[in-house]
Amino acid sequence: MVVAVGADHAGVALKDALVVYLRARGVEVVDFGTHGPASVDYPDFAVQVARAVAGGRADSGLLVCGTGQGMAMAANKIAGVRAAVVAEPFSAAMTRAHNDANVLCIGARVVGGGVAEAILDAWLTTTFEGGRHARRVGGIVALDAARAGDAG
């Protein structure tokens, strides 16, 4: 499994801790940064992770900023990405099981390290259920295609 990760300055410490956590579990990590506390713009990192996932270079993505919201907004602009902001394990599992979410967004100012690890565990161990949910995810995929046509 390959997980692409990225963070802004507000999320870098939690991102770095979660990278260690992932690698200790045998997960291959591609870290797009940021790598320090200097102020940066979250869309720059969200797009790198989102493109890695959408392009098949990573199986899923993890983005961390202050709330997770900005990262999700930016990542969801990339066709093929279904980014979800999660603050507890149940939602992490449901976004995978029912929405086939492929990018997890966490707010470093919202959850602590222990909760973030539990969220990540739920995310990584839950698979898409398919069935009736596949039709609904198909509707999201169709929105990606329609958005491409709306750009002109």
Per-residue pLDDT tens digits for 103-117: 999 999 999 999 999
Percent of the chain with pLDDT strictly greater than 90: 84
Over the stretch 114-134, which tens digit does the pLDDT of each residue have? 999 999 999 999 998 888 898
Report the chain's mean pLDDT, rounded to a whole number. Answer: 94
The pLDDT assigned to 150 comes to 67
Q: What is the DSSP string of 69-96?
A: HHHHHHHTTSTT--EEE-SSHHHHHHHH
Domain housing 113: 2-150
CATH number, position 19: 3.40.1400.10
Instruction: Please pick, among 9, 35, 65, 133, the residue that the annotation labels catalytic.
Output: 65
Structurally, the chain folds into a number of domains equal to 1
Instruction: Please pick, among 35, 98, 105, 133, the residue that the annotation labels catalytic.
Output: 98
Over the stretch 10-34, which tens digit does the pLDDT of each residue have? 999 999 999 999 999 999 999 999 9
Concerning whether 98 is annotated as a catalytic residue, the answer is: yes
